[in-house]
Structure 1
């Protein structure tokens, strides 16, 4: 028996619908860049060594807020493609509680978006490092 599909936040559902309608990798790549442009910038104060995610080829900074048992993450990267991937990760994780975040299947999410095959091993490792850092932040809170 397969596990029930988690309920997606509205922004994640919108991303999923948009990417599933894209017919080719070129269309998804263009969408990825557009999503990256939507990523809210981090303040200079948030670009710290403490917020730097280790395990990514490109520099990625991650900040988090915890309110009413829910998590809100903010991320930045100098790399355009990574910003798009981060934006898609954030729409999937923002608003989750610690338990739901611990259960998140990152490869399944990017597979649903039709992006898994285009993720190089180093990008996959980097995204997993970001998710791991998110989980660490939830246990430190």
Structure 2
């Protein structure tokens, strides 16, 4: 790889999940591509991909909200730290968010981001649901 791509890769290693999700959305909008199609197509032989005529209409939910339901008093500091690492919220905003639960932490994110966010917040001690 070139030095420039190495530098970009190093910078990407330092961003949060939410920032990575937003970056993917910006790339999709800027270049008019769909990352989900690119990922699935790269692992599949194009000759076996179903044609548009073969597809059945099955809508699968693609955007999820991560909601903090409850935060035990003893776990508040850990949850605040985790919320701050997952979002762009400051200390006061993160504290206010967990004190007024139930609250949405991440809105309209992919299933993978929602699952990872849930895992991290539950490890910190919060009770989480995904809708």
* TM-score, scaled relative to structure 2: 0.25
Rg (Cα) greater in structure = 2
* TM-score, scaled relative to structure 1: 0.24
Higher RCO (CA-CA < 8 Å; seq separation 6+): 2
